[in-house]
């Protein structure tokens, strides 16, 4: 298959081992811009992105997701949904989580494009995170994404369902 996008998508993987090396400001700026440009329902942009690099901030996040590998990342981006701003469909379905997911994947692809590793993390203690970062009830943390240089060149194989299991002509 030809195309740069598929190469980028193919190169992104969940990186769970990081070098103790800071992320350059230009690379972080590139990631931020890619997140800012993400689409959202009715263009509400119902999100907040916290760049967490300080020792205090890192320790707060690390107490919400206690896996040794997670501690090694030089920075994290904490993504939250602002429920007061999200679009809600007529049948009551809120769309903030969908919007946030798009921004997070922009983040991960932008990081890969800059030669950086990243990993979606949703299995964290969201209640604790909300408290530690002083979020109001209308704000919900949905993903923590560590970002940094991968400490290994080994990229795990992509295990995915086959096309015929996923796509159907109707
Ligand atoms: C919504 C979402 C939540 C995830 N949460 C976690 C998590 O809490 N911890 C973790 O180690 N990986 C997490 N992952 C990473 C997945 O395990 C990973 O994307 C999947 O196994 C496919 O592997 P790949 O990303 O290397 O292609 C999450 C991924 C997604 C999309």
pLDDT band at 156 (very low <50, low <70, confident <90, very high): confident
From 166, 148, 152, 160, select the one nearest 10 (Cα to Cα).
160
Q: Where are the domains of the chain?
A: 13-150
Average pLDDT of 65-80?
Answer: 98
* Model pLDDT, residue 17: 96
DSSP for 9-49, written as a single string? HHH--B---B-S-PPPHHHHHHHHHHHHT---GGG---EEE
* Model pLDDT, residue 2: 65
Which sign, positive or negative, has the C-alpha torsion 55, 60, 61, 64?
positive
CA–centroid distance, 120 to ligand 1, in Å, is 5
Residue nearest (by alpha carbon) to ligand 1 atom 20: 14
Q: Which of 64, 119, 143 to mutate to test the pocket of ligand 1 (most atoms within 8 A of CB)?
A: 119
Is a pLDDT exceeding 70 seen at residue 62?
A: yes
Q: With respect to CATH, is domain 13-150 assigned 3.40.109.10?
A: yes
Residue nearest (by alpha carbon) to ligand 1 atom 15: 120
Q: Judge whether 15 and 76 are in contact, CB under 8 Å.
A: no
* Model pLDDT, residue 59: 98
pLDDT band at 152 (very low <50, low <70, confident <90, very high): confident
Q: What is the pLDDT of residues 97-151, one digit of tens each?
A: 999 999 999 999 999 999 999 999 999 999 999 999 999 999 999 999 999 999 9
In the chain, pLDDT over 70 holds for what percent of residues?
99
Tokens of 49: 């992105």
Tokens of 109: 């692809």
Q: What is the pLDDT of residues 3-23, one digit of tens each?
A: 799 999 999 999 999 999 999
pTM of the model: 0.97
In sequence order, what are the residues at sequence separation of 6 or more whose Cβ sits closer than 8 angstroms to the Cβ of residue 14? 118, 119, 120, 156
* Model pLDDT, residue 166: 98
Is a pLDDT exceeding 90 seen at residue 30?
A: yes
CA–centroid distance, 29 to ligand 1, in Å, is 24
Q: Please tell me what DSSP assigns to residue 94.
A: B
By three-state DSSP, how is residue 120 classified? coil
Q: What is the pLDDT of residues 32-45, one digit of tens each?
A: 999 999 999 999 99
Q: Is 64 in the pocket of ligand 1 (CB under 6 A)?
A: no
């Amino acid at each position: 298959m030809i195309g740069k996008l598929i190469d980028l998508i193919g190169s992104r993987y969940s990186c769970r081992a990081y070098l103790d090396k800071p992320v350059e400001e230009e690379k972080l700026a590139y990631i931020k811009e890619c997140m800012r440009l993400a689409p959202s329902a009715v263009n509400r942009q119902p999100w907040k992105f916290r760049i967490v690099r300080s020792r205090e901030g890192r320790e707060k996040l690390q107490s919400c997701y206690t896996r040794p590998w997670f501690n090694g990342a030089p920075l994290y981006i904490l993504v939250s949904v602002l429920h007061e701003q999200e679009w809600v469909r007529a049948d009551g379905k809120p769309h903030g989580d969908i919007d946030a997911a798009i921004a997070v994947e922009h983040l991960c692809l932008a990081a890969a494009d800059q030669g950086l590793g990243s990993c979606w993390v949703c299995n964290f203690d969201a209640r604790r995170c909300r408290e530690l970062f002083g979020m109001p009830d209308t704000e919900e943390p949905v993903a923590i994404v560590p970002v940094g240089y991968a400490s290994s060149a080994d990229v795990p194989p992509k295990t995915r369902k086959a096309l015929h299991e996923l796509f159907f002509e109707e």
